[in-house]
Structure 1
Amino acid sequence: MMAEGIIWGTALLAYGTFRLWYDNWSGPLKPTEIDAFLAQMAGRFEATGNSPDVLRAFLAADDGREFVMLNLVKAQLDPVEDPQTGQMVQGFELLKRYSKRFMPVLFRNGGHPGIVGRKVGGYVDAWNTEPDPGWTVFGLMRYRSRRDMIKLVMDPAFMAGHPDKLLGTLATFSFPTQRVLSFYVGPRVTVALVLALIAALSHLMMLTIAS
């Protein structure tokens, strides 16, 4: 019985540790946090044509919940100068290098990709919208909270890779969403099922050995 308790207790501990990382336990953003962040980022948003007022409104409406950022990207497929080596490389290669910097910071702050894919055709259903600029890829990125998005943006590793993003991207837009309906099982359920399966198999193996 002690061995069984250790097996299932370890599984519960592992799942609890996962939830400590995966869930937001700090509540919504405070006004002072928003002001400090926007002050540090002053001028950066305007430089790329973005509105700090739109971002402030999103942060001020923080409900403490996770959200998913929809990203559409038109990659630079022509050669550009690599800021690190000075050599000419395809812009898309710089975008991939940026992603390699971005992903570890995203994971570190409780986020992860939901789905990433490439575009395989033009608009098949669109009205009252701008013509397709030639999107290359799309991504759905899960953020643990709006506070974690701020932490990511201010992370030195993310900031160091941002020039690669600018050189590797011809056009992009992103907006935050929250899930209403999904037929995909999320990581909370998936991790619980995997840990339960491992614990059950370990339990059966222990019983087999004992018999």
Structure 2
Amino acid sequence: MTAWIIWGTALLAYGLFRLWYDNWSGPLKPAEIDAFLAQMAGRFEGTGNSQQVMRAFLEADDGREFVMLNLVKAQMEQVEDPKTGQMVQGFDLLKRYSKRFMPALFRNGGHPGMVGRKVGGYIDAWNTEADPDWTVFGLMRYRSRRDMIKLVRDPAFMEGHPDKLLGTLATFSFPTQRVVSFYVSPRVTVALIFALAAALAHLAVLTVAG
């Protein structure tokens, strides 16, 4: 009976993880897309981004997860903190924005896949703009395109957005979907962790009982 409880608990915990980690709502509906774009119209104009590109991405929603590639050139000079009025390094505001962004990302089923700093100039490049001296890159996993627009609407995200603008000199992002990867999916990693924990608990019970 104890073994059933242990392994049943592990299975239940993994099921709850999958309820959070996977998209169960299907692709976006046209009404959702229209409402989001209408709400965000002013922000597209303010940042110079294309509402048409965003619409095309949302209308092509297949309900699957995706990974956003972000390249960022941070502001390393002093800027005025919009909260305190004091002069601070722009990069500090970008880091403050990240502290707001990450919890909102987790709440919407996402997480960082990889974040790193640049350690050299372009090694291989042609027919492209000159290196603007990127500072960091990030691969952010989103549970779905619906969750991406939920995150953009999140009050914590919107409140921190001025910090991103002040802390960033240049950036571009585009969505991707994995084709080949040698990194194990969190679905597998979490399953192995729960299985290991259950196995160790089972062995401990057997040892005590023996």
Range into which the TM-score falls when normalised by the shorter chain: over 0.9
Deviation for aligned residue 1:195: 0.2
1:132 aligns with 2:102: no
SS in 1 for 2:141: strand
Q: How far apart in 2 are the matches of 1:47 and 1:54?
A: 16
Structure 2 counterpart of 1:20: 19
Q: How far apart in 2 are the matches of 1:89 and 1:133?
A: 22
Q: How far apart in 2 are the matches of 1:209 and 1:159?
A: 53
TM-score relative to the length of structure 1: 0.99
1:90-138 residue CA offsets vs partner (Å, 9 max, x unmatched): 0000000000000000000000000000000000000000000010000
Unaligned 5+ segments in structure 2 are none
Instruction: Output the amino acid matched with 1:36.
Output: A
Q: C-alpha root-mean-square deviation of aligned residues, in Å?
A: 0.3
Unaligned 5+ segments in structure 1 are none
Structure 1 counterpart of 2:40: 41
Instruction: Output the amino acid matched with 1:29.
Output: L
Matches within 5 A, 1:78-117: 78-117=77-116
Structure 2 counterpart of 1:147: 146
1:160 aligns with 2:159: yes
1:210 aligns with 2:209: yes
1:44-81 residue CA offsets vs partner (Å, 9 max, x unmatched): 11211100000000000000000000000000000000
1:28-57 residue CA offsets vs partner (Å, 9 max, x unmatched): 000000000001111211211100000000
Q: How far apart in 1 are the matches of 2:127 and 2:68?
A: 23
1:154-211 residue CA offsets vs partner (Å, 9 max, x unmatched): 0000000000000000000000000000000010000000000000000001000000
Structure 2 counterpart of 1:74: 73
Aligned residues: 210
Instruction: Output the amino acid matched with 1:34.
Output: I
Structure 2 counterpart of 1:171: 170
Q: How far apart in 2 are the matches of 1:77 and 1:92?
A: 6
List structure 1 runs of 4+ shifted beyond 6 angstroms: none
TM-score relative to the length of structure 2: 1.00
